[in-house]
Amino acid sequence: MSRILLRGGRLIDPAREIDETCDLLVAQGSVEAVERPGRLGLVEDATVIDAGGCWVVPGLVDPHVHLRDPGFPEKETIATGLRAAAAGGFTAVAAMANTSPVNDSPEVTRYMLEHAASVHAARLVPVSAVTRGLGGRETVDFAAMVAAGAQLFSDDGIPIDDQAVLASAMEQIGRLGFAISLHEEDRTLTANGAVNAGEVSKQLGVAGVPARAETERIRRDLALAIGAGAPVHIAHVSTALSLDLIRAARRRGAQLTCEATPHHFALDDRAVLRWGPNAKMAPPLRSARDVEAVVAAMADGTINMIATDHAPHDPHSKRMERLAGWFSPTSDCGRLPEGDGEALTRAANGVVGLETALGLALELVHRSVIGPARMVEMMSLRSAQLLRMEGGTLEEGARADITLIDPNMEWTVDPAKFISKSRNSPFAGRRLKGRAIVTIVAGNVVYDGRSGART
């Protein structure tokens, strides 16, 4: 294993409150030395990477992705998903359990880890289902899943409706030292909604998903979390009131973390008028006021981490053959004919995000909403802590999972160039400033975009 010298980069390591120009030497898969420029002396046999003008940060960790493998290779595979992750600057991603078969048994967890091990890209962190088959009734064998390698538990995609099942799961998972991640949705309130309830759902003439479908379920589950005294994580928070409830529950002692996705902090529901099914997900894009609240909560520390909720889908699942003609990136569409409203309602939820998340987070940095250290904290340190994994820091001796970011490289999002197998992005054509240019996992370069070919 060769040595790598990252020379002259801006090292940002929020765990140690370091933000200064340094040389960093990687050897034997670990961070061997971090020194002021020039202090390392002559480093023989090392591959030198000029990090001047770039940020050297602990590898980005995404606590919420869907890799569709096993089960849906036309959407994504473990190999394509982990390569897309590396290209986006991620050194580890937590793969949700709604595969086919569901990851509710050690066999599926082992399948995921074995396939990931043969891919030269980001690490895969398995997320175990909470209930068998995501059915919401019978819990999985939590200890067996941990023994197989699971590091987080979630039925993501589907809420756990039964309070007794959820309360018991919280306690058992907490006792094992892990967290449970909750997809918060009251499906009696979601009803058959396609997009956020508001002006946009009215304009399209489709049923809307009210904000309270999320907030009422969060209200219920935060009470359970306080009762259980166990670590609980709220996935993809999307409304202002949800954030107020989270703040209040923390004051009452809940062990609570939460995440925001790039689409929920970078887009409001008007994006649906342009992108149609490629801007449809659960929870849906919300009002401009909610987006403002999410951004403010990222700045004030209420939101702990950024998660992509990378959800690849093929055009058929998105009903594109029927709907593509209606939506246009340049003009808002109007009311949908009845059958097309139905198609939008039936279109699969979710957008891809691994290759755009960093550029979108950097928009907040360039707008001075958050500082670089806060961004790195939300995209690396806190997610690593949630997943109970080593990472999130570049102290000497740490595992050499490192992301090199050029914060000023300008590029245009072109889904045709994604490494992911899917193209369902509402960010096509968006100009972004900054991207990962080198991604290192265990001391090996797994992505090198320095040629600038992928702009």
Window 183-222: contact mask with Zn ion (x via CB under 5 A): x---------------------------------------
- Kindly name the residue from 155, 268, 269, 309 that is annotated as catalytic: 309
By the 8 A CB rule, do 449 and 436 touch?
yes
Work out whether 401 is an interface residue with Zn ion (CB under 5 A).
no
Phi and psi at 100, nearest 5°, equal -135, 110
CB of 351 to Zn ion, least distance (A): 12
Work out whether 259 is an interface residue with Zn ion (CB under 5 A).
no
The total number of residues shown for the chain amounts to: 455
Q: How far is 265 from 193, CA to CA, in rounded Å?
A: 21
CB of 270 to Zn ion, least distance (A): 22
Q: How far is 132 from 129, CA to CA, in rounded Å?
A: 7
The per-residue b/e assignment along 352-385, b for 16 or more CB within 10 angstroms, e otherwise, is bbbbbbbbbbbbbbeeeebebbbbbbbbbbbbbb
Work out whether 156 is an interface residue with Zn ion (CB under 5 A).
yes
Which is closer to Zn ion, CB of 151 or CB of 181? Answer: 181
Which is closer to Zn ion, CB of 46 or CB of 158? Answer: 158
Residue ranges in 169-188 that form contacts with Zn ion under rule CB under 5 A = 183
By the 8 A CB rule, do 131 and 440 touch?
no
Which is closer to Zn ion, CB of 181 or CB of 302? Answer: 181
19 is catalytic: no
Q: How far is 184 from 161, CA to CA, in rounded Å?
A: 10
Which is closer to Zn ion, CB of 183 or CB of 310? Answer: 183
The HSE-up count of residue 385 (CA atoms within 13 Å, CB side) is 16
Query: Which sign does the torsion angle of CA 415, 421, 424, 426 carry?
Result: negative
Given the structure tokens 């058959």, which residue do they identify?
Answer: 192
Q: How far is 323 from 279, CA to CA, in rounded Å?
A: 12
The window from 132-140, 154-162, 424-432, 437-445 that contacts Zn ion (CB under 5 A) reads 154-162
* Number of shown-chain residues binding Zn ion (CB under 5 A): 2
Residue ranges in 35-64 that form contacts with Zn ion under rule CB under 5 A = none
Which is closer to Zn ion, CB of 183 or CB of 435? Answer: 183
- Residue nearest Zn ion, Cβ-based: 183
Active site residues per annotation: 309
Question: Which residues form the interface with Zn ion (CB under 5 A)?
Answer: 156, 183
